[in-house]
Amino acid sequence: MRQTRASLYEDTPRDVVATGNEYPPHYVLPAHSHKRGQLLYASAGVVSAITDEGSWVVPPRRALWIPPGVTHEVRMSGAVSTRSVFVRPEAAQAVGLPTHCQVIAVSTLLHALLLEAVDLPAEYALDGRDGRLMALLVDEIAVMPTLALNTPLPRDPRLARICRALMEAPALEIDIDMMAHKAGMSRRSFTRLFRQQTGMSFGLWRQQACLLAALTRLGLGDSITQVATDLGYSSASAFTAAFRRTLGASPSRYLQGQ
């Protein structure tokens, strides 16, 4: 089922279907939604997704769960090879899949199941090997650990507008006073509303936005030194320390999926 439009399989009489696609560098899938939940896995390359709730970055050996009905835009960084699993809402609910977008780890077993699933016929036999494989696939998705690889967007239109702009070009030197001025708010009001609507301070949010932008650039092959400099870190070692502190591994190990 590779190189196939996912929309053609929305009504396939199976709880779970899988597709695979290849995308050129910088390809953008405009905002859209599915009746089914989608697990988006980039077996090669880095993808990012944007919804009204925030943005998510999906590096190698991670995947993004997108619940049914959630409108999302997907951007490809470099050449990308995807494997997607589409799950009916009832089946997703039955195994407890998240009701909000969430990046998950991908185990060796889940990786193998995803690669195998895209080669099955659309209407595979439910009572044979193929049916058992797809059932195991959904069970494995449900037990994967979730990862903090998103930058939430505030609901307030003023904050959402300037936060989207910052996510497009993140930098550490952009401070609270600059953001409050752009929003037409006092520093105190900005700080209070920002934490209320994102669940974190602006400083932590800015660092998260910078690190997720770094993941995308590093996945394209940019050097750690160049990325650190462009984002405003004092040195490559300072950037690596912040990366390890937040994501639990050095940039090179993280991108290897370790």
Tell me where in the chain the CATH 1.10.10.60 domain(s) lie: 153-255
Residues 214-229: pLDDT tens digits? 988 888 889 999 999 9
The answer to whether the CB of 22 falls within 8 A of the CB of 74 is no
pTM across the whole model: 0.86
Does the structure show a pLDDT above 50 at 2? no
3-class SS at 10?
Answer: coil
Residue that has been written with the tokens 């037990």 in this structure: 143
Q: Provide φ and ψ at 252, rounded to 5°.
A: -65, -40
Residue that has been written with the tokens 């951007």 in this structure: 75
State the average pLDDT over residues 127-149.
Answer: 94
Residues 159-202: pLDDT tens digits? 999 999 999 899 999 999 999 999 999 999 999 999 999 999 99
CATH class assigned to 6-147: mainly beta
pLDDT for the residue numbered 3:
39
Q: Provide φ and ψ at 197, rounded to 5°.
A: -95, -15
pLDDT for the residue numbered 4:
45
CATH number belonging to domain 153-255: 1.10.10.60
Does the structure show a pLDDT above 90 at 25? no
3-class SS at 65?
Answer: strand
Q: In angstroms, rounded to a whole number, what is the distance separating the alpha carbons of residues 187 and 218?
A: 34
pLDDT for the residue numbered 59:
83
Tell me where in the chain the CATH 2.60.120.810 domain(s) lie: 6-147
Task: Return the structure tokens found at 5.
Answer: 């439009």
Residues 67-91: pLDDT tens digits? 999 999 999 988 889 999 999 999 9
Q: In angstroms, rounded to a whole number, what is the distance separating the alpha carbons of residues 170 and 191?
A: 18
